[in-house]
Amino acid sequence: MSIEVSVKPEVSYLATLLEQCRQGAVVKIDWLEELRNSATAIVQELAIPSKRQEEWRFTDLSSLLQVQFQAVDSQSVPSLQQLDISSLTLPETAASCLVFINGVYAPQLSAVTGLPAGVFVGNLAELPSQYTSRLEDYLGKQQGASEVFTALNTAGLTDIAVVWVAKNTIVEQPIHLLFVSTTEEVPVICQPRTLVVAEAGSQLHLIEDYGANIEGYPDIPINKPYFTNQVTEIWVEENAAVTHTRNQREAADGFHIGKTAIAQARYSRYTGNAINLGAKLSRHNLEVWQTGEGTQTTLNGLTMISGEQLADTHSAVALNHPHSTSNQLHKCIVDGRGHAVFNGKVFVPQEAQFTNASQLNRNLLLSPKARVDTKPQLEITADQVKCSHGATVSQLEADEIFYLQSRGINEVDARNLLIDAFVAEILAQIPVTSLRKRLASCTACRTY
How many other C-beta atoms can be found within 10 angstroms of the C-beta atom of residue 373? 15
* pTM of this structure: 0.93
Residue 181 has pLDDT above 80, yes or no: yes
Please give the average per-residue pLDDT across 171-187, as a whole number.
Answer: 89
- The better pLDDT of the pair 150, 158 is held by 150
Residue 448 has pLDDT above 50, yes or no: no
Q: Tell me what percent of the residues of the chain surpass a pLDDT of 90.
A: 62
261-275 pLDDT, tens digit per residue, is 999 999 999 999 999
User: For residue 16, what are the contacts with CB-CB under 8 A and spacing of at least 6?
Assistant: 68
Complete DSSP assignment for 216-231: TTTSS--S--EEEEEE
β-bridge partners, 161: 123, 194
Nearest CA to 31 out of 155, 162, 159, 136 is that of 136
Please give the average per-residue pLDDT across 159-178, as a whole number.
Answer: 95
Q: What is the structure's pLDDT at 1? A: 43
Beta strand 193-198 with 161-165 is parallel
Residue 214 has pLDDT above 80, yes or no: no
Which of the residue ranges 105-119, 201-215, 395-409, 433-447 would you say has the lowest mean pLDDT?
433-447
Residue 27 has pLDDT above 70, yes or no: no
Q: What is the structure's pLDDT at 25? A: 63
The per-residue pLDDT of the chain, averaged, comes to 89
Q: What is the structure's pLDDT at 4? A: 46
Band of the pLDDT at 86, cuts 50, 70, 90? confident
Please give the average per-residue pLDDT across 207-215, as a whole number.
Answer: 80
Q: What is the structure's pLDDT at 279? A: 93
Residue 115 has pLDDT above 60, yes or no: yes
Residue 244 has pLDDT above 70, yes or no: yes
Beta strand 386-394 with 226-236 is unpaired
Please give the average per-residue pLDDT across 9-17, as a whole number.
Answer: 87
Contact present, 49 and 56 (Cβ < 8 Å): yes
Q: What is the structure's pLDDT at 219? A: 42
Handedness of CA 66, 148, 219, 400 (dihedral sign): positive
349-377 pLDDT, tens digit per residue, is 999 999 999 999 999 999 999 999 999 99
Please give the average per-residue pLDDT across 339-345, as a whole number.
Answer: 96
β-bridge partners, 115: none
Distance CA 94, CA 113 (A): 9
Distance CA 386, CA 296 (A): 14
Nearest CA to 294 out of 378, 236, 377 is that of 236
299-323 pLDDT, tens digit per residue, is 999 999 999 999 999 999 999 999 9
- The better pLDDT of the pair 115, 402 is held by 115
Q: What is the structure's pLDDT at 22? A: 82
Q: What is the structure's pLDDT at 215? A: 45
Please give the average per-residue pLDDT across 425-445, as a whole number.
Answer: 84
Band of the pLDDT at 26, cuts 50, 70, 90? low
Please give the average per-residue pLDDT across 325-354, as a whole number.
Answer: 94
Residue 228 has pLDDT above 70, yes or no: yes
400-413 pLDDT, tens digit per residue, is 877 777 888 887 88
Q: What is the structure's pLDDT at 368? A: 92
CA angle 14, 17, 21 (to 5 degrees): 135
Do you find a cis peptide bond into 218, omega within 30 degrees of 0? yes
